[in-house]
Amino acid sequence: MIKSLFLSFLFFASVSVFAQKNNVAEMLIPEPVSVTSGTGNFILKPNTNIHVITSNADAKRVGKFISEKLKRATGYNVPVVVTSKKLAGINLSLTKDASLGDEGYHLNVTPSEISISANKPAGLFYGIQTLYQLFPKEINDSAVAKNVKWNVPVCKVTDYPRFGWRGMMLDVSRHFFTKKQVEEFIDQMVLYKFNLLHLHLTDDEGWRIEIKGLPRLTEVGSRRVNKVGYFGTFAPPKPDEPLDYGGYYTQDDIREIVKYAMDRFVNILPEIDVPGHSLAAVVSYPDLSCTPGADKYRVRSGEPIMDWSHGQPPIALVDNTLCPANPKVYEFLDKVMTQVAELFPFPYIHCGGDECPKNFWEKSPEIQALMKKEGLTTMDQVQSYFEKRLEKIVESKGKKFMGWDEILQGGLAPSAAVMSWRGMAGGIEAAKMKHDVVMSPTTYAYLDYMNGDPIIEPHVYATLRLKKAYEFEPVPDSIDPKYILGGQANLWTEQIYNMRHLEYMIWPRAMAIAEDVWTPKAKKNWDDFSDRVQKQFPRLDEAHIKYAPSIYDPIFEVSKDDSGQLKITLSTEIKGLDIHYSFDNSFPDNYYPTYTSPLTPPEDAVMLKVVTYKGDKKMGRMICMPISELKKRADGKGGDDE
Ligand code: ACM
């Protein structure tokens, strides 16, 4: 009797446990094309094997990746075994399913097995990224996690990306990131299924790639004075200051990075930014400049070298351009492109072209002579002449030419692909001319911008909130989508001095961009995404990856009424937060007044302090906002130029 009672208890207990349907969709970023949740779990055990049901070496490597990750976190052996059929455990197999394309996959989890199938190993790789997000967060631990039940919820996922170009740009010129750090960046990108790393290898602040036969590029061009503070405002370096900051990748380093990336199905797009942004090259080889006295220039250490007050193009204070009228420049570029083409297997080379000042060209007799000879009437045409010659050089190396949208000005080179950054307009124009386009507009995809309010974020000249990044739609209505290769997030590093802050700047906004370029447009939903983002945070914590908590901080809007009274409106990016505030200089908590409607500060108040809570849990950071700052903002002066 006791036994039968116990059995019936077990039965009901198991029914009530197992009857609960999983909600797998809420665990995943980017959201897959199709998810069906089941009930129950696959449980990884000490004797679970990974079966690779193909002799394909890339598929075996994917098996090894998941084995290593599971082994590290669980302490189990989890060996990779090549088998001829699926068995209980984890199965990776290649299939033929036209709907999946080159990067899609099916993931099927039952209580006894996990099966991932794909047309290509890249699809298996994305399948395992999805699978990682279904394991408990401790899967991201770097050491064996104790007392974890390694459950994976029963489900079926079918998934493939919306775009083939899912990029992130890393500027390694302004601040240098080592080979190991670049590899860590790649490791983080692939967690959310990015497949392209654009390396911005050269700029005014450093030349970061070894070019044989041009040793000064790295001996001289990769070094500058080390300065810390608000980059762009530093005092000019003194002649005797040591050049104690720098670094570059040897060609062996580049080969290793490329291999590391390709092993993880990431292509690397190299960028050599010319003819502007070329001070490091000019300092190395002053002959490349049109301007007498360029031999006195220094690699920029963060002092002002441009006057932006007139908009684009900037007025240069030192001539940071290569001279389009100088035959030596094309010989130089031929040498550089030959080696870049050999080092990077990706079909494109990005040749920059952005923000090229023309004021020194205007004064150059060589440029005047070139204009006369070539029938050029404007400086934009001079740049276009340069870009067209450079396109020919790049194509002579078997590569395709790409540049920032400024290369449209003065006439686009015949086969150039355009990366649209000053909004979408350049991309639209190029696509209408039947040129390939990658969209990476500042408006949605510049991850160097502040995550939130300048009162609390490290200062940059603009803000890009997570919600805005999530609104990125790479295909504008007016154009044929076939010209849009995809989208890209860009991380300029003037204000990024170390890897931890780099992480803070990319996460979680890169999750939004990942979903923008992977997930079907019709499935995107901000409220749903913002819930899923918050579920990723503990996973990032476990992986020791820093991220911005800015979505928990309130948004300040301020205006003045007719009588000059401030009206302060507070809101939050995500749902479910209460905002508590004080005007009396004390630190508010959840016992303080809750914001419900616009505030007017008491006459003598000097500070508004705010903090967000979810119930009794503090979520946001304490923000101390001077009333004087709010007054400036109401007058259109403070804050940022968002
Ligand atoms: C750019 O942001 N200057 C391409």
Q: What pLDDT, in 10s, does the model give residues 208-217?
A: 999 999 999 9
Q: Is 421 in the pocket of ligand 1 (CB under 6 A)?
A: yes
Q: Are residues 378 and 489 in the same domain?
A: yes
131: in domain = yes
Distances from the Cα of 633 to the Cα of 115, 559, 563, 636, angstroms: 56, 8, 17, 5
Angle of CA points 316, 235, 225, to nearest 5°:
95
Q: Are residues 53 and 113 in the same domain?
A: yes
- Please give the tally of structural domains in the chain: 3
409: in domain = yes
Query: Per the structure block, which two tokens stand in for 320?
Result: 């940071």
Task: Give the CATH number, domain containing residue 38.
Answer: 3.30.379.10
In this predicted structure, the answer to whether residue 642 has a pLDDT above a threshold of 60 is no
Q: Are residues 45 and 135 in the same domain?
A: yes
Q: Is 355 in the pocket of ligand 1 (CB under 6 A)?
A: yes
640: in domain = no
Q: What pLDDT, in 10s, does the model give residues 382-437?
A: 999 999 999 999 999 999 999 999 999 999 999 999 999 999 999 999 999 999 99
Which contacts qualify for 213-218: CB closer than 8 Å, 24 or more apart?
213/335, 214/284, 214/285, 214/332, 214/335, 214/336, 216/284, 216/285, 217/280, 217/281, 217/284, 217/285, 218/248
- Domain enclosing residue 56, as ranges: 17-159
Q: Is 354 in the pocket of ligand 1 (CB under 6 A)?
A: yes
Of 488, 519, 542, at which residue does a domain stop? Answer: 542
Active site residues: 203, 277, 355
Q: What pLDDT, in 10s, does the model give residues 450-497?
A: 999 999 999 999 999 999 999 999 999 989 999 999 999 999 999 999
In this predicted structure, the answer to whether residue 13 has a pLDDT above a threshold of 50 is no
547: in domain = no
In this predicted structure, the answer to whether residue 8 has a pLDDT above a threshold of 70 is no
80: in domain = yes
Q: Rounded to two decimals, what is the model's pTM?
A: 0.96
Task: Give the span between the Cα atoms of 217 and 206, in whole angstroms.
Answer: 9
Classify residue 251 by its DSSP letter: H
642: in domain = no
Q: Are residues 130 and 221 in the same domain?
A: no
Q: Are residues 384 and 523 in the same domain?
A: yes
- Measured in Å, residue 153 CA sits from the centre of ligand 1 at 43
- Measured in Å, residue 421 CA sits from the centre of ligand 1 at 6
Of the pLDDT bands very low, low, confident and very high (cuts 50, 70, 90), residue 7 is: very low
Q: Are residues 532 and 559 in the same domain?
A: no
Q: Are residues 471 and 582 in the same domain?
A: no
φ, ψ at 612 (rounded to 5°)? -105, 150
Q: What pLDDT, in 10s, does the model give residues 47-104?
A: 999 999 999 999 999 999 999 999 999 999 999 999 999 999 999 999 999 999 999 9
Q: Are residues 269 and 381 in the same domain?
A: yes
Nearest CA to ligand 1 atom 2: 421
What is the torsional sign of CA 92, 94, 97, 98?
positive
Q: Are residues 138 and 204 in the same domain?
A: no
- Measured in Å, residue 489 CA sits from the centre of ligand 1 at 12
Which pLDDT value is given to residue 19? Answer: 57
Mean pLDDT of the chain: 95
Looking only at Cα atoms, what is the longest distance across the chain?
Answer: 106
Task: Give the CATH number, domain containing residue 588.
Answer: 2.60.40
Q: Is 58 in the pocket of ligand 1 (CB under 6 A)?
A: no
The number of angstroms, rounded, from the C-alpha of 42 to the middle of its chain's C-alpha atoms is 33
144: in domain = yes
Cα dihedral 319→322→324→327 (10° resolution):
130
Q: Are residues 344 and 485 in the same domain?
A: yes
Mean pLDDT of the 7-31 span = 69
297: in domain = yes
CB 633 within 8 A of CB 558: yes
Of 509, 542, 575, at which residue does a domain stop? Answer: 542
Q: Is 361 in the pocket of ligand 1 (CB under 6 A)?
A: no
Task: Give the span between the Cα atoms of 521 and 524, in whole angstroms.
Answer: 6
Query: Can you spell out the DSSP letters for 58-122?
Result: HHHHHHHHHHHHHHHHH-----EEE-SS--SEEEEEE---GGGTTT-EEEEE-SSEEEEEESSHH
The number of angstroms, rounded, from the C-alpha of 331 to the middle of its chain's C-alpha atoms is 34
Of 122 and 2, the one with more pLDDT: 122
Q: Is 405 in the pocket of ligand 1 (CB under 6 A)?
A: no
Query: Per the structure block, which two tokens stand in for 263?
Result: 């092993």
Mean pLDDT of the 194-199 span = 99
Task: Give the CATH number, domain containing residue 532.
Answer: 3.20.20.80
In this predicted structure, the answer to whether residue 638 has a pLDDT above a threshold of 90 is no
Strand 566-571 and strand 555-560: the pairing is antiparallel
Q: Are residues 258 and 188 in the same domain?
A: yes
Of 135, 159, 183, at which residue does a domain stop? Answer: 159
Query: Per the structure block, which two tokens stand in for 415?
Result: 């086969």
Nearest CA to ligand 1 atom 3: 354
Of the pLDDT bands very low, low, confident and very high (cuts 50, 70, 90), residue 21 is: confident
Angle of CA points 105, 349, 339, to nearest 5°:
115
- Measured in Å, residue 404 CA sits from the centre of ligand 1 at 7
Q: Are residues 191 and 95 in the same domain?
A: no
Residue 624 forms beta bridges with which residues? 609
